[in-house]
Structure 1
Amino acid sequence: MSPRHIGLAVLVAAVWGLNFVIIHVGLENFPPLLFCALRFAVVALPAIFFVRRPAVAWRWILAVGLVLGVVKFGLLFLGMHAGMPAGLSSLVLQSQAVFTALFAAALLRERPAGQRIIGLGIALVGIAVAAVDRGVGGPIGAFVLVIAAAVAWGLSNVLTRKAAPPDALRWMVWVSAVPPLPLLGLSLLVEGPSADLRALREITPAGLGAIVYVGLASTLFGFVAWSFLLRTYDATAVAPYSLLVPVFGMSSAWLLLGESVSLPAGCAALLVIAGIGLTALPPGALAGPGRRLRMRPPRPSVPAAVPPGRTG
């Protein structure tokens, strides 16, 4: 990768890592489901009136919009609202790599190589360590909600692979048009009209900034930039930079929110990052010199797994 594109990859990881702190700020200003609805509304409107629908069937747009937007992000925001720390959320959500592999094996008949199975096993051990630590130090229900969000993210990755949209920007805009109404309906039912109206009536600059950041910076910029990198270089050259997301997430939560990192949580982070890093290596890379990664021309399909930063 060129130095400029390495810088872009690091920037995207930083944007996605900081995103969890910004979500924390947004949840201080809005009920979680309403905040999630506003996040996708900012991405879809008014862009949907100027961006043509991607050349994929409606069923894929609706399926990914519901699974990724409503289920994954709805559960993530609910989990963080229930007490899951921003830094730990940025780490636990990376377990989506495990669930993506499981769904790909079940639905796409993909069989991971032994090296990848070992890496996924190491990552699962890290998640288990984090779960035990969270069970001792905080509400386990919030942890379970974020794990469930990672499961939904894994499923949405496989659905996106099946859809194979040719244009990342159009895909993101149209997928983002699906979640706002279902999320708003759920917010009215669960959080109540009075809470929603009060949050909108008393909106603060911090709340408005959080909506703009998670919608435009994290979702739109992050996804399109990451997709560009994956279309330009081998996935094995780009994917390791996603390991910086929990690094930026946990460090920004420590610096800006004062979140401490316990020894078990630190060990869990190392295990998860090492495990996912092992899955990102090309098969046989540990047995001998790796093949030289070469730049390749853009291709008209999206990567095998939806990048982590939409994360949040």
Structure 2
Amino acid sequence: MNLRLNPVLTALVAAALFGAATPLAKALLGTISPFMVAGLFYLGSGIGLGAVIVARRFGAFGNRQATHQSGQRIQRAEWPWLIGAIIAGGVGGPALLMLGLVSTPAASSSLLLNLEGVLTAVIAWVVFRENVDIQVFLGMIAIVAGGVMLSWQPGDAGLSHGSLLIVAACACWAIDNNLTRKVSSNDALVIASLKGLIAGSVNLAIALGAGASLPAPPTIAAAMLTGLAGYGVSLVLFVVALRHLGTARTGAYFSVAPLFGVALSLAIWPSLPSMTFWLAASLMALGIWLHVRERHIHEHVHAFLEHTHRHHHDEHHQHGHDFPYSGDEPHTHPHTHVPITHTHAHFPDIHHRHSH
């Protein structure tokens, strides 16, 4: 498979899993409170991924290379970024989404979630100074236009209350995405598991404090399994894609999530979509297409860099090893990049965070 397509496909699979979780959350909201749904989703994610981490560590016993990988630790300077990401995306985002879903049709909610990619790109561009080419900018305009068309209420002077809550959730996740970029070179399983455990506990505490009670065991299991796939595995794949594509591009590919949500929601609640729905979907599809076809190439300089992440021995990773190396790839260990100047197509990944 073309190595350039690997992170793109990773982002698309992450989007599919997350998009499918939205109509399933809508179905669960008929029986349990929004904060309870968010709490169970994230707890399912955190516990499930935590079990994978434990199993991986146990399986790595006796394998020095694998142990080296599982021992990767988040640096002290990175914790503020991760904590901020957990608060914004793990607590604020899902709570606002669940509240918005109460009064917003599932299909419309799914398409509105396209705004997360747009807001992610805007923050990456304006705040973190990540390069965004003209095609990405035009794609954002198309997606915003589709979102406004979809959520506008006839006869009203503004957006519906439920739609605004979903837009606010997208803003929280956009902040989360940009903060997570700062720690994306770390173990994606650990990042996603921590977010799930902390965010799940907070949302569950809010639900119980507000007087909600735990649902029946089958409902708990369904919510946690949905959260493991739609929030847990999806986030792991998103972090991996973020590492290779940068924030704005990963957010753009992730914008296809609502398309999967729409397909599933229409299957759960069969109905004939309105013309406005299709016009909005067409505008969003145009925006996604503009994002996908963008290509960025110029001469650039790599400064000295030392870090730890999962990698292949490509043109950016020509280094030796201070431990017995079997030749297996990809692998993870601390390594150093020497300064180099060259030209090739690239994304603003963890090795290409240069100015323009």
Q: Is the 8 A contact 2:41 2:225 kept in 1?
A: yes
Q: Deviations over 1:6-28 (max 9, x none)?
A: 98776554433321221112212
Q: Measure how far apart 1:185 and its partner are.
A: 3.8
1:263 equivalent in structure 2: 275
Q: Whose strand fraction is larger, Structure 1's or Structure 2's? A: 2
Aligned pair partner of 1:68 in 64, 89, 93: 89
Structure 2 CA distance for aligned equivalents of residues 107 and 7 of structure 1: 27
2:109 equivalent in structure 1: 89
1:156 to 1:296, Cα distance in 2 relative to 1, 3 A: farther
Question: TM-score, normalising length from structure 2?
Answer: 0.67
Structure 2 CA distance for aligned equivalents of residues 61 and 230 of structure 1: 14
Q: Measure how far apart 1:221 and its partner are.
A: 2.2
Structure 1 CA distance for aligned equivalents of residues 243 and 184 of structure 2: 13
Q: Is the 8 A contact 1:25 1:207 kept in 2?
A: no
Task: Give 2:89's aligned amino acid.
Answer: L
Structure 1 CA distance for aligned equivalents of residues 248 and 152 of structure 2: 32
Which residues in structure 2 correspond to 1:5-154 (within 5 Å)?
Answer: 12-45=14-47, 47=50, 50=54, 54-56=73-75, 57-81=78-102, 83-133=103-153, 140-154=160-174
Q: What is the aligned residue count?
A: 285
Structure 1 CA distance for aligned equivalents of residues 248 and 94 of structure 2: 27
Question: TM-score, normalising length from structure 1?
Answer: 0.76
Aligned pair partner of 2:232 in 217, 220, 223: 220
SS at match of 1:179: helix
Structure 2 CA distance for aligned equivalents of residues 238 and 62 of structure 1: 21
Q: Measure how far apart 1:91 and its partner are.
A: 1.1
Q: Is the 8 A contact 2:45 2:224 kept in 1?
A: no
Q: Whose helix fraction is larger, Structure 1's or Structure 2's? A: 1
1:288 equivalent in structure 2: none
1:175 to 1:203, Cα distance in 2 relative to 1, 3 A: same
Structure showing greater Rg: 2
Which residues in structure 2 correspond to 1:276-287 (within 5 Å)?
Answer: 276-283=288-295
2:285 equivalent in structure 1: 273
Cα root mean square deviation, aligned:
3.8
Q: Measure how far apart 1:155 and its partner are.
A: 1.0
- Overall identity of the aligned pairs, in %: 24
Q: Deviations over 1:124-177 (max 9, x none)?
A: 1111111225777xx810010001111111111111112334211111011222
Q: Is the 8 A contact 2:253 2:291 kept in 1?
A: no
Q: Is the 8 A contact 1:64 1:156 kept in 2?
A: yes
User: Is 1:203 aligned to 2:216, yes or no?
Assistant: yes
SS at match of 1:55: coil
| Structure 2: unaligned runs, 5 residues or longer | 58-70, 298-311, 315-329, 333-346, 350-356
Higher relative contact order (CA 8 A, sep 6+): 1
Task: Give 1:68's aligned amino acid.
Answer: G
Q: Deviations over 1:29-58 (max 9, x none)?
A: 320012211221222237289477841432
Aligned pair partner of 1:177 in 178, 182, 197: 197
Q: Is the 8 A contact 1:54 1:170 kept in 2?
A: no
1:269 to 1:207, Cα distance in 2 relative to 1, 3 A: farther
Task: Give 1:31's aligned amino acid.
Answer: S
